[in-house]
C-alpha cells in the first residue's frame, strides 16, 4: 500500500512539474505575442508604416479592379462560347455501289443551341458532289439522309451528352 501511495505521489509530482513547465512556456509565448502586437501598433505612428499601409490598400484596390475586369471577360467569353462550334459529328460511307472505300462523308457542326450545318460530300467515279444543309435547334429545313442524321446525332451527343 505504501509503495502504491509513493508511486501515486511521484506521478502527481511529475504531472505538477510538467504542468508548471507548460504554463511557463505558454506565458513566454503570450509575452512574445504581446510584444509583437505592441510593436506593430507602435509603428502605426511612423510615416513609413502609414505609407506601407497606403501602398497595400492601393495594391488591393488595383487587384479588386483587375478581378472585376476578369469576371466581366469570363462572362463575355461564356456568352460567345454558346455561339461557337461545340458539337461535331462525322460519318464516312459509300454513296454509290460502284465505288468503295467509304470515300463519301457527312459532317455535322453545331453550337450549343443546335444551330449549324451538315456538309455532305458524295464521292463517285466521275464526280464528287458537295451539299450543305442548315441546322436550327437540331432540325434541318431540308430533308436529311440517314448518314446526315447519324452525323447530326453524333454532334448532338457531344453537346448534350446522354443523361442515362
Strand partners, 109: 88, 117
| Higher pLDDT, residue 2 or 135 | 135
Could you tell me if 98 and 154 lie in one domain? Answer: yes
Alpha carbon of residue 83 to chain centroid: 20
Domain match, 125 and 143 both? yes
Are 75 and 105 found together in one domain?
no
One domain for residues 38 and 71: yes
**What pLDDT was estimated at residue 164?**
46
Q: How far apart are CA 64 and CA 15, in angstroms?
A: 53
Alpha carbons 52 and 75: distance in angstroms, whole number:
35
Q: Evaluate whether 150 touches 91 at the Cβ level (below 8 Å).
A: yes
User: Does residue 4 lie within any of the structural domains?
Assistant: no
Q: What is the β-pairing status of strands 128-136 and 87-93? A: unpaired
Q: Can you give the pLDDT at residue 103?
A: 87
C-alpha distance from residue 50 to each of 43, 54, 57, 62, 105 (Å): 8, 6, 10, 18, 71
Q: Is residue 2 part of a domain?
A: no
Can you give the pLDDT at residue 38? 80
Domain that holds residue 71: 34-81
- Do 133 and 153 belong together in one domain? yes
Q: Answer yes or no: is pLDDT of 163 > 60.
A: no
Distance CA 112, CA 88 (A): 11
Mind listing the pLDDT tens digit for each residue in 57-77? Answer: 999 999 999 999 999 999 999
Mean pLDDT of 4-12: 86
Average pLDDT rounded to a whole number, residues 132-153: 95
pLDDT at 96: 80
Which pLDDT score is estimated for 104?
93
Averaged confidence pLDDT in the chain: 88
Task: Report pLDDT for 44.
Answer: 61
- Taking residues 103-122, report their average pLDDT: 94
Q: How far is CA 66 from the centre of its chain?
A: 19
Q: What is the pLDDT of residue 19?
A: 93
89 strand-pairing partners: 108
Q: Count of domains in the chain? A: 2
- Cα Rg of the chain, angstroms: 38
- pLDDT greater than 80 at residue 50: no
Same domain, 155 and 97: yes
Give the tens place of pLDDT for each residue, 72-107: 999 999 888 888 999 999 999 988 876 677 889 999
Amino acid at each position: 500500500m505504501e509503495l502504491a501511495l509513493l508511486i501515486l505521489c511521484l506521478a502527481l509530482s511529475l504531472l505538477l512539474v510538467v504542468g508548471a513547465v507548460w504554463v511557463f512556456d505558454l506565458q513566454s509565448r503570450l509575452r512574445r505575442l504581446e510584444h509583437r502586437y505592441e510593436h506593430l501598433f507602435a509603428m502605426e505612428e511612423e510615416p513609413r508604416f502609414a505609407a506601407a499601409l497606403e501602398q497595400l490598400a492601393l495594391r488591393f484596390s488595383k487587384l479588386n479592379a483587375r478581378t472585376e475586369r476578369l469576371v466581366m471577360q469570363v462572362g463575355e467569353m461564356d456568352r460567345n462560347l454558346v455561339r461557337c462550334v461545340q458539337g461535331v459529328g462525322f460519318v464516312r460511307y459509300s454513296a454509290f455501289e460502284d465505288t468503295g472505300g467509304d470515300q463519301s462523308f457527312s459532317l455535322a457542326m453545331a453550337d450549343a443551341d443546335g444551330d449549324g450545318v451538315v456538309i455532305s460530300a458524295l464521292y463517285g467515279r466521275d464526280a464528287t458532289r458537295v451539299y450543305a444543309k442548315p441546322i436550327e435547334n437540331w432540325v434541318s429545313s431540308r430533308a436529311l439522309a440517314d448518314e446526315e442524321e447519324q452525323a447530326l446525332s453524333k454532334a448532338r451527343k457531344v453537346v448534350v451528352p446522354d443523361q442515362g
